[in-house]
Amino acid sequence: MTLSRKIAAALDENTRAYNLPCVVTLDDGPDRINLEITSLDSVGVALDALEYVASDRKEWTPEALNAWGEKLSKSVSYLLEPLKVLEVDGGAGLAQLRSASPTVRGDVRGYYEVRLDRQGICRFERYVVDPGGRGRRRTPCHLTREVVERLADDIAAGSS
Amino acid sequence: MRKIDRDANRFKQIVRGKIKSDLRKYITHGELIGKTGGEFVSIPLPQIEIPEFRYGDKNRGGVGQGPGDVGTPIGRSGEGESGPGAGEAPGQHILEVELTMDDLAQILGEELALPRIEPKGRANIIEEKDKYTGIRQAGPESLRHFKRTYKKALKRQIASSQYNPRDPLVIPIREDKLYRSWNPITSPQFNAVVLYLMDVSGSMTDDQKEIVRTEAFWIDTWLKSQYDGVTTRYIIHDAVAREVDEHTFYHTRESGGTRISSAYNLANKIIEESHSPMDWNIYVLHFSDGDNWGEDNRQCIGLLRDQLLPKCNLFGYGQVESPYGSGEFYRELEEAFEAVPNMALSEIRNKEGIYESIKEFLGRGR
Fold of B190-362: Rossmann fold (3.40.50)
What are the distances in angstroms from CA A67 to CA A53, A85, A124, B239, B290?
Answer: 16, 10, 17, 19, 26
B199 Cβ under 8 Å from any chain A Cβ: no
Q: Which residue in B205, B320, B326, B349 has the most chain A C-beta atoms within 10 A of its own C-beta, making it the best mutation to test that interface? A: B326
Q: Do B324 and A130 touch (CB under 8 A)?
A: no
Closest residue by Cα to residue B302 from B274, B254, B328, B265? B265
Closest residue by Cα to residue B141 from B112, B90, B177? B177
- Domain positions in chain A: 3-159
Q: Do B258 and A87 touch (CB under 8 A)?
A: yes
B325 Cβ under 8 Å from any chain A Cβ: yes
Closest-approach residue (CA) in chain A for B255:
A87
Can you tell me the distance from the alpha carbon of B202 to that of B185, in angstroms, rounded to the nearest whole number? 52
Q: Do A92 and B293 touch (CB under 8 A)?
A: yes
- B344 min Cα distance to partner chain A (Å): 17
Nearest to A92 among B294, B326, B347 (CB): B294
- Domain positions in chain B: 3-46+98-111, 125-187, 190-362
What per-residue confidence (pLDDT) applies to B123?
Answer: 47
More confident residue, B267 or A19: B267
B294 Cβ under 8 Å from any chain A Cβ: yes
Total residue length of chain B = 366
What per-residue confidence (pLDDT) applies to B94?
Answer: 56
What per-residue confidence (pLDDT) applies to A1?
Answer: 66
Can you tell me the distance from the alpha carbon of B259 to that of B285, in angstroms, rounded to the nearest whole number? 16
Write the single-letter amino acid at A7: I
Write the single-letter amino acid at A99: S
Can you tell me the distance from the alpha carbon of B43 to that of B108, in angstroms, rounded to the nearest whole number? 14
Q: How many CB atoms lie within 10 A of CB B315?
A: 27
- A86 min Cα distance to partner chain B (Å): 5
A49 Cβ under 8 Å from any chain B Cβ: no
Give the DSSP letter of residue B151: H
Rounded to two decimals, what is the model's pTM?
Answer: 0.73
Q: Do B293 and A98 touch (CB under 8 A)?
A: no
Q: Do A89 and B239 touch (CB under 8 A)?
A: yes
Residue A49 neighbours by CB under 8 Å, 6+ apart: A34, A36, A123, A124, A125, A138, A141
pLDDT in tens, chain B (366 residues): 678 888 888 887 887 787 777 778 777 776 666 555 566 777 766 555 566 788 776 666 555 566 677 776 665 555 555 555 665 655 555 566 777 777 888 888 887 777 777 766 554 455 667 888 889 999 999 999 999 999 999 999 999 998 988 988 999 999 999 999 988 876 666 778 899 999 998 888 888 888 988 888 888 888 888 887 788 999 999 889 999 998 888 888 787 888 999 999 999 999 999 998 888 889 999 999 998 876 899 999 999 999 999 999 899 999 998 888 888 899 899 999 988 988 999 999 888 888 889 888 888 777
Q: Do B239 and A92 touch (CB under 8 A)?
A: yes
List CB contacts (< 8 A) between A87 and chain B. Answer: 201-203, 238, 255-258
B253 Cβ under 8 Å from any chain A Cβ: no
Closest-approach residue (CA) in chain B for A127:
B324
Closest-approach residue (CA) in chain A for B294:
A92
Q: Do B323 and A109 touch (CB under 8 A)?
A: yes
User: Does residue B178 sit in helix, strand or coil?
Assistant: coil
What per-residue confidence (pLDDT) applies to A133?
Answer: 61
Closest-approach residue (CA) in chain A for B293:
A92
Handedness of CA B309, B314, B319, B320 (dihedral sign): negative
User: Does residue B19 sit in helix, strand or coil?
Assistant: helix
Q: How many CB atoms lie within 10 A of CB B280?
A: 23
Q: Do B256 and A101 touch (CB under 8 A)?
A: no
Contact, A148 vs A47, CB < 8 A? yes
Per-residue pLDDT reduced to its tens digit, A130-160: 776 667 889 999 999 999 999 999 999 988 8
User: Does residue B72 sit in helix, strand or coil?
Assistant: coil
